[in-house]
Amino acid sequence: MTTSRLKSGASLPEFAVPGIALAKHATSRSHWVRWPAFFVIALLGLALRLPQLDARPMHTDEAVNAYIVGQLLAGVPFTYDPEDRHGPALAALALPIVRMAGAKSFSELTERELRLTSVVAGTITILLFGAAVEMFGFIPSLVAALLFAVAPLPVYYDRYFIHESLFSAATFGLILSGWRAFRTCSVGFAVLAGASAALMFACKETAILHVFALAVAAFVFWQWNLRGRSLTSLRMGPLLASAGTFAAFLAILFTWFGRNGKGLPALLRVIPHVLARATGQGHEKPFWYYGRLLTGGWSGGLLVALACLGFFIMLRKRNDSPFQYLAYYGLLLTAIYSFIPYKTPWLTLNIWLPLTLFAGRTLESLWRVGATLSRLYAAIPACCILAMFAGVLIAHDTRQRVFLRPTDESNPYAYAPTSADILGLPIEIADMARRNGMSAPRIAVIASDPWPLPWYLRHFPEVGFWQPGQQVGEADFYITTTEAANRYADRLQNFRPDFFGVRSGVLIVLWLPAPK
Q: What is the arithmetic mean of pLDDT over 441-467?
A: 95
End-to-end CA distance of the chain: 88
Q: Is the pLDDT of residue 17 over 80?
A: no
Q: Compute, in degrees rounded to 10, the torsion defined by CA atoms 303, 309, 312, 314.
A: -80
Q: Is the pLDDT of residue 46 over 70?
A: yes
Strand partners, 284: 342
Q: Residue 334: what pLDDT?
A: 96
Report the distance separating Cα 176 and Cα 434, nearest Å.
57
Note whether 235 and 317 are same-domain residues: yes
Classify residue 155: in a domain, yes or no.
yes
Which of residues 194 and 275 earns the better pLDDT score?
A: 194
Classify residue 8: in a domain, yes or no.
no
- Report the range of poorest mean pLDDT among 70-74, 319-323, 426-430: 319-323
Report the distance separating Cα 387 and Cα 391, nearest Å.
6
Note whether 265 and 227 are same-domain residues: yes
Q: Is the pLDDT of residue 9 over 60?
A: no
Q: Residue 7: what pLDDT?
A: 35
Note whether 67 and 192 are same-domain residues: yes
Say if CB 126 and CB 42 are below 8 A apart.
yes
CA distances to 194, 206, 245, 264, 328 from 212, rounded to whole Å, are 15, 10, 19, 21, 12
Report the distance separating Cα 488 and Cα 469, nearest Å.
9
Report the distance separating Cα 305 and Cα 94, nearest Å.
37
Report the distance separating Cα 220 and Cα 264, nearest Å.
32
| Final residue before a domain boundary, out of 351, 379, 404 | 404
Which of residues 28 and 422 earns the better pLDDT score?
A: 422
| Domains: count for the chain | 2
Strand partners, 513: 495
**Residue 458 CB contacts under 8 Å (≥ 6 apart), including other chains:** 70, 106, 107, 109
Note whether 56 and 130 are same-domain residues: yes
- Grouping H, G, I as helix, E, B as strand and the rest as coil, residue 105 is coil
Q: Is the pLDDT of residue 267 over 90?
A: no
Classify residue 61: in a domain, yes or no.
yes
Note whether 201 and 242 are same-domain residues: yes
Q: Is the pLDDT of residue 26 over 60?
A: no
Report the distance separating Cα 474 and Cα 154, nearest Å.
46
Q: What is the arithmetic mean of pLDDT over 98-108?
A: 96
Provide the greatest CA pair distance for the chain: 97
Q: Is the pLDDT of residue 15 over 80?
A: no
DSSP 8-class letter at 401: I
**How far does Cα 111 stand from its chain's mean position?**
17
| Final residue before a domain boundary, out of 404, 434, 450 | 404
Q: Is the pLDDT of residue 442 over 80?
A: yes
Report the distance separating Cα 273 and Cα 280, nearest Å.
12
Q: What is the DSSP string of 418-482?
A: PPGGGGHHHHHHHHHHHHTT-SS-EEEEE-SS-TTHHHHTTT-SEEEEE-TTS-----SEEEEET
Classify residue 366: in a domain, yes or no.
yes
Q: How confident is the model at residue 137 (pLDDT cuts 50, 70, 90)?
A: very high
Q: Is the pLDDT of residue 14 over 90?
A: no
Note whether 476 and 503 are same-domain residues: yes
| Final residue before a domain boundary, out of 371, 404, 437 | 404
**Residue 310's domain spans which residues?**
13-404
Classify residue 301: in a domain, yes or no.
yes
Note whether 138 and 59 are same-domain residues: yes
Note whether 255 and 349 are same-domain residues: yes
Note whether 468 and 343 are same-domain residues: no
Which of residues 56 and 17 earns the better pLDDT score?
A: 56
Classify residue 428: in a domain, yes or no.
yes
Look at the pTM and tell me if it is higher than 0.85: yes
Contacts 24+ apart (CB under 8 A), 66-70: 66/106, 66/109, 66/114, 66/161, 66/455, 67/106, 67/454, 67/455, 69/94, 69/95, 69/98, 69/106, 69/109, 69/114, 70/105, 70/106, 70/107, 70/109, 70/458
Note whether 457 and 372 are same-domain residues: no
Note whether 99 and 26 are same-domain residues: yes
Classify residue 148: in a domain, yes or no.
yes
Report which of 139, 127, 145, 48 is spatially closest to residue 383, judged by C-alpha positions.
Answer: 139
CA distances to 4, 50, 59, 376, 458 from 56, rounded to whole Å, are 54, 13, 9, 47, 17
Note whether 355 and 452 are same-domain residues: no
Q: Is the pLDDT of residue 373 over 70?
A: no
Q: What are 401-415's pLDDT values in tens digits?
A: 999 999 998 999 999
Question: Taking the CA atoms of the chain, what radius of gyration do you get in angstroms?
Answer: 26
Report the distance separating Cα 239 and Cα 189, nearest Å.
10
Report the distance separating Cα 454 and Cα 515, nearest Å.
27
Q: Residue 34: what pLDDT?
A: 86
Classify residue 480: in a domain, yes or no.
yes
Q: What are 223-264's pLDDT values in tens digits?
A: 888 876 766 666 788 889 999 999 999 999 999 999 988 888
Say if CB 102 and CB 92 are below 8 A apart.
no
Report which of 362, 361, 360, 366 is spatially closest to residue 383, judged by C-alpha positions.
Answer: 366
Report which of 163, 174, 142, 139 is spatially closest to residue 88, judged by C-alpha positions.
Answer: 163
Q: Residue 3: what pLDDT?
A: 38
Q: Residue 412: what pLDDT?
A: 95
